[in-house]
A and B are shown apart, each in its own frame.
Chain A
């Protein structure tokens, strides 16, 4: 049981919960927020909108940048009782490779997840939306490290299974999906875009059926492990994703409702929660 990247800030959670968080840590591995080369303050508020059974967010990847992350966040994340996966995003293939390489120079980092849901400034294409783009990115990143590389697939691709095959062919060790689906919300009175950034990503139970189908089609297309996520809120949901071919599952939005959701869902799954 993992957390979806960007859905749990273990450093902030430790401020709220103290060392009780370490004693009762809800995940078997921790995935960091996505790190970029330069610091980002994130999108202007408002950043959230509650949808029917879900949430639209437009957070905008606020982070301290690679140097800030390595100096300030990584030592704190290394105190967690589970392996650490660092999520990175680059706006060019070289940048992605250099971020992955820098993260993997640190012993505290067990694996790297490549967030490819951003435009490649060299081509203008979303890296993860196109099999070729994905393969080219992996070809650049793969030589910089022997550590396992996870590719976080975007559901906003025409054919996520083809992207997954391309990632596998270029040396990815696993794929994870789904990231959020593009969505928006309008101000209830003015009908202008509610979110500060205009649009955002939809998550939560509202996207679960879509996620389940994408996990099924991707798992059928590749041999490497698939980490499934998207609206999982119970052991039964987790069992469905496993039945659809996921080797592991992650929890995201459900953690917003209960920080212990990951542990609860894992316990329900271990207790024999059956799909359907």
Chain B
């Protein structure tokens, strides 16, 4: 067995998918925030864990017979609801799976498997957590902020449409955009570099596109700052069955679904993987 993570970073999932109900859909610029009632699942998923999602209907029967496989999403929020657990997922319509999920309305059924994988580990005593989210990768960072309310959040987006997701964050997150339409025109990793200059005890938590994660990894590695990266890779199953989601680490290939998706940056030579970010 690999990398014995503390048990509390992995809430176990029931060994079958279950039907949850969409309770709300909120438009946030380029994104949708899908609210779901999970009546039959664990009520304590960890930030950074994920669920496999598939619409109850029209999954496999759409144009080109896709989507077929479920899609992996880290939850953006999890909160107790009267009849179970309220989960929120941030999504952007970028392919056949996310397109179908974007069509869902309140009352629709959603297959859920999860929570899966290993979530973020708590910062070491005395460490100052810094949260870094890029684009849709803001989702698990938002979830983590709920546990680390004092942690500063640095968010990067393409432009104003995407930056609307920043409104979900508490406090006053730093916003960087590619086009300067909102916040500062810079890369979020430039903001991270400044933050690291002024915070020697930082412990970084990041999720975002591969190029951003690689920049975070290189920055933190150069300064000896601990960093945990929530990574993404094409996944078929989410529970270790297909061996499809491997990423290269210093110790060889690991399956992101059972050994991640959160990995220590120090375990990686690079966060730029073949196929990542497609």
Q: Bound pair: A and B?
A: yes
Answer whether residue B169 sits at the interface, using C-beta atoms and an 8 A cutoff: no
Taking a contact as CB atoms under 8 Å apart, the answer to whether A52 and B68 are in contact is yes
Taken together as a complex, chains A and B put the C-alpha atoms of A59 and B236 apart, in Å, by 12
> What are the residues of chain B within 8 A of A9 when measuring CB–CB?
240-241, 243
> What are the residues of chain B within 8 A of A50 when measuring CB–CB?
66-69, 236
Taking a contact as CB atoms under 8 Å apart, the answer to whether A12 and B258 are in contact is yes
Taking a contact as CB atoms under 8 Å apart, the answer to whether A258 and B113 are in contact is yes
* Contacting residue for B241 out of A12, A49, A62, CB 8 A: A12
* Contacting residue for A47 out of B65, B239, B246, B278, CB 8 A: B246
> What are the residues of chain B within 8 A of A275 when measuring CB–CB?
none
Taking a contact as CB atoms under 8 Å apart, the answer to whether B241 and A13 are in contact is yes
Taking a contact as CB atoms under 8 Å apart, the answer to whether B15 and A52 are in contact is no
Question: In this complex, which of A6, A45, A188 has the most chain B Cβ atoms within 10 angstroms of its Cβ?
Answer: A45
Q: A48 and B242 in contact (CB under 8 A), knowing A20-B15, A41-B253, A194-B275?
A: yes
Q: Count of A residues near B, CB < 8 Å?
A: 47
Q: Looking at the assembled complex, report how far the CB atom of B270 sits from the nearest CB atom of chain A, in whole angstroms.
A: 13
Answer whether residue B255 sits at the interface, using C-beta atoms and an 8 A cutoff: yes
Answer whether residue B172 sits at the interface, using C-beta atoms and an 8 A cutoff: no
Q: Looking at the assembled complex, report how far the CB atom of B96 sits from the nearest CB atom of chain A, in whole angstroms.
A: 8
* Contacting residue for A260 out of B17, B66, B274, CB 8 A: B17
Answer whether residue B24 sits at the interface, using C-beta atoms and an 8 A cutoff: no
> What are the residues of chain A within 8 A of B273 when measuring CB–CB?
45
Answer whether residue A71 sits at the interface, using C-beta atoms and an 8 A cutoff: no
Taking a contact as CB atoms under 8 Å apart, the answer to whether A24 and B241 are in contact is no
Taking a contact as CB atoms under 8 Å apart, the answer to whether A259 and B239 are in contact is yes
C-beta contact mask, A40-60 vs B, less than 8 Å → 1, else 0?
011011111111111101010
> What are the residues of chain B within 8 A of A255 when measuring CB–CB?
237, 241
* Contacting residue for A45 out of B1, B14, B66, B247, CB 8 A: B247
Taking a contact as CB atoms under 8 Å apart, the answer to whether B12 and A18 are in contact is yes
Answer whether residue A191 sits at the interface, using C-beta atoms and an 8 A cutoff: no
Q: Looking at the assembled complex, report how far the CB atom of A42 sits from the nearest CB atom of chain B, in whole angstroms.
A: 6
B contacts, CB < 8 Å to A: 1, 10, 12-17, 54, 60, 64-70, 111, 113, 116-117, 233-248, 252-253, 255, 257-258, 273-275, 278
- Given A7-B242, A16-B258, A52-B65, 17 new contacts (CB under 8 A): A12-B258, A47-B234, A47-B243, A47-B245, A48-B245, A49-B234, A51-B68, A53-B68, A55-B69, A57-B236, A57-B244, A62-B246, A196-B275, A205-B68, A256-B242, A257-B54, A258-B16
Q: Show 25 A/B contacts (Cβ-Cβ < 8 Å), sorted by A.
A: A7-B242, A12-B255, A13-B239, A13-B241, A16-B13, A16-B117, A18-B12, A20-B15, A21-B15, A24-B16, A45-B253, A45-B274, A47-B244, A51-B68, A53-B66, A55-B236, A59-B242, A196-B274, A196-B275, A204-B68, A256-B241, A257-B237, A259-B241, A260-B16, A263-B16
